[in-house]
Every structure is written in C-alpha cells, then in structure tokens.
Structure 1
Amino acid sequence: MTQKQRATFRSMTEGTQEDYAAIATSMMGHITDLPDRIMDHMRLLSGDYGGFNIDRLEHCLQSATRAYRDGKDEEYVVCALLHDIGDTLGPANHADVAAVLLEPFVSEKNHWIIKHHGIFQGYYFFHHLGMDRNMRDQYKDHPYYQACAEFCHRYDQNCFDENYESEPLEFFEPMIRNVFASVKKSLYAEATEQQAAS
C-alpha cells in the first residue's frame, strides 16, 4: 500500500474522511485474508500435546471430521475445527478466544456453544481435579444448553483417539473460506460501500 493509500494523521483527532476510507479499505483486505491466517494458526497446534496422547491439531481435526461425517452443516464443522484454536494464545480462556474469532461469522447458537464449551467439557474431568463437574448446570435453563452438551459429548470429549482417521486440515480449507466470507456487515464494510458510492 502506498503512502497515498494510507492515513497520514499522527493522532486520530486529526483524521479526515479520506484517511478513514483508506483504513476501511485496508481492513476489508485484512478480513479477506483471515482464512489464510487461520490456517497458519491451526498449523501451530501441530506437535503441541499439552499432556494429551494426540496433539491439539489432531484433536481439532477429529472434532471437525466427526461433525462432518455426522452431516453437520459447514458452519458447525468449522466451529468444531476451530473450537480449540485459542489454546496457544489463551490457555486460561481458550474458549473465549475461539468465540471472539468466530462471533462475526457464525450464528448466535454456534457462537454460544464455542464460548461455553470449556465449562461444559469440564463435566468429563473437573471432578478429577477437585472441581465441580456440574459447573455447566449454571446454564441449565439456557436455550443452547443441550446443544453445547451435545457438542462436547459427540465432538470434543471423544476426540483423543490416536487410531481415528481424520480428514487433513486442507480438507476443511474451502469450508473455512466459505464461513469467513460471510462476515456480518461491519462499520468498515459500510464505510467502504459509502466511499465507493460517493
């Protein structure tokens, strides 16, 4: 991007309409390239075992593969694939990291499942650590409670099988591109459209 295509202000109070149009245009390109960065980040999970018998990438691949083979839709499969993408940057709140990444691109239900799967997954092991395995029951009246419990039962707690034949990461790349192409209209998108119309 040339200097002419970039903002020139030193503080945001000096910014002009042209400056912010340049930023909005750049941001749309940044969003377009997001699937590439997601693929790169998923590869960082390879070789990271975290004490488990398979690495974090294989766990995510098993989750997505099982969801795909069960006939779940593309968005759900991508959520399954990315549910633990936050493990590297947010080990204390990995579900929140994944949920924030997915929120602008997925349904409210799928976002809720990913955001809360860490607590729901605790049903299978919290008691071994002296914690309350039923911590998830604080959400028992939530309309997505059962959906999140199902996700953890069918596509998370059972995805540590070293003999399971998962699809490779590249198999899911077109799905990632499709899901992340459907970004909800943002301020940046609106600004870009307004600039183009003027």
Structure 2
Amino acid sequence: MHSVNFTQMKDGTREEYHFLERLENEFNQNLPERILKALAALEHSLSGYRVSRLQHSLQSAARAEADGADEDMIVGALIHDIGDDLAPYNHSQLAAAVIRPYVRGEVTWVLHHHGLFQNYYYAHHFGGDRHERDRYQDHPAYQLCVDFCEKWDQASFDPSYPTPDLEYFRPMVQRVFSRKPFDPAVIGEEYSLV
C-alpha cells in the first residue's frame, strides 16, 4: 500500500490506520533533525539585536549548562525561541507545545511563560505592567521561570560570550526528542499551564 483509499477519516479501515501509524512512527524518528533545522533557521530570523536569534538560543543553552542545569532545561533553553518565526505573538506557547511530550512539566511551564516573564525587563517602556508575572508567584515553577529569564534568556545577547555551535547541542536534542512521548517517568507531575 502506498496510500490510503479513504477521502474521509471516518471511512478508514483498520489496515489503513495501521499503515498510517507505521509511516508516522518512521517520520517521527527524524524529529530531532527537524528541531535542529528549525533552530538553524533562526540564524536568519528577527534582526536588530547584537546577536542572531540562533546565537541567542545557543547562548541561553550554554549559560544554562554552565549553571549546572540538567539536560531537559538546557534543551528547553535552546529551543525557547523556536517559535519566533511562526508565532511571534505567542512564541513561548509554541516552544512549550513542541517540548511538552519529552520533558518534565516544570520545563514546559517555564517555556510556556517565559515570554510573559521577560516583560519584566521592558514592558514599562511601553506603558505595560512589568510585574504582570507576579500573578503566578504562588506557582511551584515561578522562581524557576524568574531565574530562567534573569540568568539565561535576558542575559544572552552578548556577542563576546563564548558560545558553542549548534552541533555541540545535537546529542542533547537527539536524546530529548527521541524519548517516548508523554512517558510518565519523564514528564512527572503535570503542571497547569495557566
């Protein structure tokens, strides 16, 4: 079989759905490479900063690693802005959705909220509330997100910071995105994203 016969999903047969599942599993084995390709594309993304979006991402991950973060958080720091091109107004939520099946809940929560938490550094210049993040101050991952933004995200625009290239992070990306999706032993306690 090269393709299914149905034109509406409700008409699919068991054989056709097993065929599609096999193709999907094969396709998903290349997810780490697609993630790396999307990261590489950040080299030619939003401009105006002293470093490219790719360099910012690499630098964020390098800072996370230097601070002793675990691999889940390092990869989270690496992909935290992967949504900049396709979701400029909710890039945080896109990054969280991408990594959610593969890491513990607090990493997903931090990525989901980092855009809002970053407002602390500049929202007041536009008449916004820089303390809007404080509505989450009772959340168990609040301080982790504050630290993520302070130590790694907002600080990673320095062209002189020693930053490894994307190939350095390839093994980490491959390990994280090759895990069984939604494995309870990995994702642990579910954090509410609200």
The two structures have a TM-score, normalised by structure 1, of 0.89
Matched with 1:129 is: 126
- Superposed, 1:68-107 pairs within 5 Å as 68-107=65-104
- In 1, distance between residues paired with 2:44 and 2:11? 47
Distance of 1:185 and 1:5 partners within structure 2: 30
1:38 has 2:38 as partner: no
Question: Given the alignment of the two structures, is residue 19 of structure 1 paired with residue 45 of structure 2, yes or no?
Answer: no
Structure 1 counterpart of 2:117: 120
Structure 2 Cα separation of the partners of residues 185 and 29 of structure 1: 18
TM-superposed CA distance for 1:5, in Å, is 4.7
Contact preservation (8 Å) 2:31, 2:178: no
In 1, Cα distance between the equivalents of 2:12 and 2:108?
A: 35
Structure 1 stretch displaced more, 85-94 or 27-36: 27-36
Per the alignment, residue 65 of structure 1 pairs with: 62
Partner of 1:158: 155
* Letter matched to residue 113 of structure 1: V
Greater C-alpha radius of gyration: 1
Q: Is the aligned partner of 1:144 residue 2:141?
A: yes
Amino acid at match of 2:31: L
Separation of aligned partners in 2, 1:102 and 1:161: 26
Give the drift of 1:6: 3.1
Shift of 1:59: 0.3
Relative to structure 2, which stretch is displaced further, 41-50 or 61-70? 41-50
Alpha-carbon displacement from aligned partner over 1:89-125 (angstroms, at most 9, x marks no partner): 1011110110110111111100000000000111111
Structure 1 unaligned blocks of 5 or more: 187-198
> CA–CA distance in 1 between the matches of 2:8 and 2:77?
41
Distance in 2 separating the partners of 1:77 and 1:18? 41
Stretches (4+) displaced over 4 A: none
Cα distance 1:47–1:15, how it changes in 2: closer, same or farther (>3 A)? closer
| 2:187 matched residue in structure 1 | none
In structure 2, stretches of 5+ residues that fail to align are: 184-194
What CA distance in whole angstroms lies between the structure 2 residues aligned with 1:90 and 1:179? 23
Length-normalised TM-score, structure 2: 0.90
> How many residues of Structure 1 are paired with residues of Structure 2 in the alignment?
183
Displacement after TM superposition at 1:130 (Å): 1.2
One-letter amino acid of the structure 2 residue matched with residue 9 of structure 1:
F
Q: Is the 8 A contact 1:43 1:57 kept in 2?
A: yes
Letter in structure 2 aligned against 1:162:
P
How far did 1:185 drift? 5.3
Give the distance between the partners of 1:49 and 1:91, measured in 2 at CA.
10
Task: Identify the residue that residue 48 of structure 2 maps to in structure 1.
Answer: 51
CA contact (8 A) 1:5 1:22 kept: no
Query: Structure 1 pair 10/49, CA: closer, same or farther in 2 (3 Å)?
Result: closer
8 A contact 1:7–1:18 mirrored in 2: no
1:191 corresponds in structure 2 to none
* C-alpha separation in 2, matches of 1:63 and 1:49: 17
Determine if contact 2:57/2:79 at 8 Å carries over to the other structure. Answer: yes
Tell me: CA distance 1:86–1:17, structure 2 relative to 1, closer, same or farther (3 Å): same
